[in-house]
Chains A and B, each alone.
Chain A
Amino acid sequence: MSLSSALSIAQSALLTTSRQTSVVTRNVSDASNPDYSRRIATVVSTAPGARSVDIQRATNAQLFRQNLAALSAWSGQSTLSSGLDRLQIAVNGVDNATSASTAIGNLQNALQLYATSPSNQNLGASVVETARQAVRSLNEGTTAIQAFRTDMDSQISNAVGQLNDLLVQFEGANKAIISGTRSGTDVSDALDKRDALLKKIAEYVPISTYTRGDNDMVVTTADGTMLFETVPRSVSFTPSPGYGPTTTGATVYIDNVPISSGSGGNSEATGKLAGFLQLRDGVASTMQNQLDEIARGLIDAFAEKAPPLADMAGLFTWQGGPAVPTTLEPGLAGTIRINAAVDPSQGGNVNLVRDGGINGAGYVKNTTGGASYSELLIGYGDRLDTPMTFSPAAGIAATSSVTSFSSNAIGWFESIRQQATTLADTKEALASRSAEALSNETGVNVDMEMSLMLDLEHTYQASARLMSTIDQMLNALLEAV
């Protein structure tokens, strides 16, 4: 051993320390980046006295997977929950003020008043006005639901675009990792980037991953459809330009396999895409069916009946009138309207509601023409409360009166919304907890890094002191010579 070898050891110590310092600096600078994983500079001794620094990246694969799953579940559920909030306001209004149920209640009250003084034309006109409110509620509900579906459709289209972009970026990051791993360079930054991309992808679709040789990653959806393998698989979707009650939306294909949408309030919809699909095809379509059935119930309750003549649409009529619809007519709620024959604003005669005969003399009930004939009006009020059979496609008890059907529709919707909102809270909590756990495991603690920094400072100082001491010793030797 010689002084010169001591000098070179001190030199290598300086080099090691400065590399460690650079890792500490990097950690501190990224302390608040949630996608950054802490780097650990491990010192490895090679030859006697020689040391090299190996950089490792803190990971916890299990927590990371858990975090991805929680993210997917939460993003699906919160998509559903916020979509339902929007639908509620758009269709039923604040405190259900614009709901069909409220409108039917008002109509019943107006009928009751009119039946008490049937000779008062103003009360008749107010029956027609409240009927118009009911029509408006159904018409506007249909418009709102279809606008909502159109919006969901374009959201799906956007999400599919973003997902494809993310997969392309993922390919770049994955390639960098493979080539870096093969050439043995530090790929930590690329790994960070790839993990960040995975988190983003997980918000759209639930994913599972596995890693092959050279750190090459394969990404599939939770149900096994290939999303990425060496190259990104295409996610395809054909948006529909505008939705009507009869429009069936296109589905999303990943690698030509259709993805499944969720159902129910506790949605198994994981990921935004499934949430959007559930809103567009499940909830909104069922709501439309319900409105259609309410419209049919109204037309039926006010139909003019005079056997053996066929039943004919009365106060309310529709596109296919004057026949009375007997089964679920898609889009009926959008086309229901006040019969022009009784609508004063269209030159109609309000008294026809009281006397019957909208569809001709055969249907007149008030044969004596008395101005205070109220039996038909009372009968209409009763028929609103008479059970009828509704289509099971509306998702509510099949036999009920149109009034209770309309309030059950609200109950049906609110039960889904309640469940969806509660679960969105729970799933959000899970996502935030698992992110916290992951961050604790792989994130940076600045205090820790700073204390490490103090150690490094000491080592550096000691090494530098050694060098200067060796220098002095060499000088002393040279002077002596």
Chain B
Amino acid sequence: MKAVSVSSSAVSNAMRYSQTRMQVDLVKAQKELDSGKVADIGLTLGANTSQSVNFHRDLDRLNSIVDSNALVSSRLKSTQDALGQIVSAAQSLLSSMTVASSGDMPDSVAAESGRSALQSLTSMLNASLNGEYLFAGTNTDVRPINDYSAASSPAKAAFDAAFLARFGFAQNDPAAANISAADMDDFLTNDVTPQFMGAGWQANWSNATDQQIVSRIALNETTGTSVSANQEGLRKIAMAAAIVTEAFSGNLSSAAKNAAAAKALALAGEAISDLGQLQSQTGIVQNRVSAASERINTQVDLFERHIIDLEGVDPYEAANRVNDLMSHIQTSFALTARIQQLSLLNYLT
């Protein structure tokens, strides 16, 4: 009897399902407009969510490496500064020794130049940053260099003992004036050198380790980022300064003093070239660190762009969607109200 049928409840509920769907979508679109990201990353990306999670984690990680590289850079910069000052101390020792070896300098001035070189070396090597001694190798919570001028200095004691053992009297003994240049040279080469270049250095002078601090400067790149006080150049400059201090404060003959000055001169010269090498090595590491940071920053940019590609929404599109949905919802409200009025009952009296 009736080919097409529609029930009253179907008519009045027709809009209900799409109405709720649109409202759910509206909430999502508002969120997206607000945050610039998709409302629910998991639902939008599905299995690709792991990519987004990885990107976020790597991004954090790269940023933390950039931060830690800044710390490493400041350590290297301080090291570089200290090395520069040690080089200038070595140079002034070198020039005063040049004068002293020609005999134009009073002993006390020469001895003082040795002492001051030693002092600035000690204070530079004991420099610290953030509570870490720069030149201590990995042993950064212990002062790397013992003070030679301190009363209880083991290095001083070792030097004095070696002198006494070799010649039978102390440096300031009047008999010291009889030491020949050859004896002096022999003493410096065979007795004093092991105290600096051999086991005596670690025993009396240095608390530093040879091991460097190793740092990760990029995701897959690690490098040594500290200079140890045990480097040869630093030992040589310490030795030169100690020889000068000792030779010019005793009662040595001028021939012996000249031999000591010549030795100190040679050592200081070698030390300066060694230090130059050390400075350039440090510079290379500095460069590596800053290059790594730069590279990481490029990566960070790239990752951020990837993340936006994955999670971002076009704000204009989102805004349009909100507007569309609102007008749709309004239309369907209006329709629902009109349909409710549409009833035969209104025309029956």
Contacting chain A: which of B61-69, B111-119, B153-161, B320-328?
A: B61-69
A127 to chain B, nearest CB (A): 12
**Chain B positions within 8 Å of A441 at CB level:** 5
Most buried by A among B9, B54, B60: B9
B209 A368 Cβ-Cβ under 8 A = yes
A266 to chain B, nearest CB (A): 12
Minimum CB distance partner of B226 in chain A:
A372
Q: Mark B64-96, 1 if CB is under 8 A from A, else 0.
A: 110110011000000000000000000000000
Q: Mark B220-237, 1 if CB is under 8 A from A, else 0.
A: 001000100000000000
Q: Mark B8-21, 1 if CB is under 8 A from A, else 0.
A: 11111110010001
B291 to chain A, nearest CB (A): 17
B42 A417 Cβ-Cβ under 8 A = yes
A411 B348 Cβ-Cβ under 8 A = no
B213 interface hit (Cβ, 8 Å): yes
B61 A418 Cβ-Cβ under 8 A = no
B172 interface hit (Cβ, 8 Å): no
Contacting chain B: which of A71-79, A101-109, A204-212, A245-253?
A: A101-109
On whether A445 and B7 interact (CB within 8 A), knowing A95-B41, A370-B139, the answer reads yes
A337 to chain B, nearest CB (A): 23
**Chain A positions within 8 Å of B215 at CB level:** 115-116, 374, 378
On whether A411 and B50 interact (CB within 8 A), knowing A113-B64, A443-B10, the answer reads yes
Give the contacts of A433-474 with B (CB-CB under 8 A): 436, 439-448, 450-451, 454
Contacting chain A: which of B130-138, B260-268, B301-309?
A: B130-138
Minimum CB distance partner of A428 in chain B:
B17
A residues adjacent to B (C-beta < 8 A): 31-32, 34, 38, 88, 95-96, 99, 101-102, 104-106, 108-109, 112-113, 115-120, 366, 368-375, 378, 381, 403-404, 407-415, 417-419, 421-422, 425, 429, 432, 436, 439-448, 450-451, 454
B123 to chain A, nearest CB (A): 20
Interface pairs (18), CB distance under 8 Å: A31-B9, A112-B65, A118-B213, A368-B139, A370-B137, A371-B139, A371-B142, A372-B136, A378-B215, A381-B216, A410-B42, A411-B48, A414-B43, A418-B47, A439-B9, A443-B10, A446-B344, A454-B348
Sorted nearest first, the 5 A-B pairs with minimum C-beta distance are A443-B7, A411-B50, A370-B138, A415-B47, A418-B46
B214 interface hit (Cβ, 8 Å): yes
A443 B137 Cβ-Cβ under 8 A = no
**Chain A positions within 8 Å of B12 at CB level:** 32
CA distance A412 to B48 in the complex (A): 9
A447 B72 Cβ-Cβ under 8 A = no
Minimum CB distance partner of A106 in chain B:
B60
Minimum CB distance partner of A370 in chain B:
B138
**Chain B positions within 8 Å of A112 at CB level:** 61, 64-65, 68, 216
B345 A446 Cβ-Cβ under 8 A = yes
**Chain B positions within 8 Å of A411 at CB level:** 46-51, 53
Most buried by B among A99, A119, A432: A119
On whether A446 and B8 interact (CB within 8 A), knowing A120-B130, A407-B50, the answer reads yes
Choose among A34, A102, A410, A425 the residue that contacts B9 (Cβ–Cβ < 8 A): A34
Choose among A378, A407, A414, A444 the residue that contacts B7 (Cβ–Cβ < 8 A): A444
**Chain B positions within 8 Å of A451 at CB level:** 344
CA distance A448 to B2 in the complex (A): 10
**Chain B positions within 8 Å of A407 at CB level:** 50, 53-54, 57
**Chain A positions within 8 Å of B43 at CB level:** 414, 417-418, 421-422
Given A413-B42, A414-B41, 17 other A-B residues pairs in contact with their CB atoms under 8 A? A105-B56, A112-B65, A116-B72, A119-B132, A366-B138, A368-B211, A373-B211, A407-B53, A407-B57, A410-B50, A411-B47, A414-B50, A417-B46, A436-B14, A439-B10, A440-B7, A445-B6
CA distance A442 to B216 in the complex (A): 74
**Chain B positions within 8 Å of A443 at CB level:** 7-10
CA distance A429 to B67 in the complex (A): 52
A109 B64 Cβ-Cβ under 8 A = yes
B42 A418 Cβ-Cβ under 8 A = yes
**Chain B positions within 8 Å of A366 at CB level:** 138
B130 A439 Cβ-Cβ under 8 A = no
B57 A105 Cβ-Cβ under 8 A = yes
CA distance A34 to B54 in the complex (A): 50
On whether A410 and B7 interact (CB within 8 A), knowing A112-B216, A119-B132, A371-B138, the answer reads no
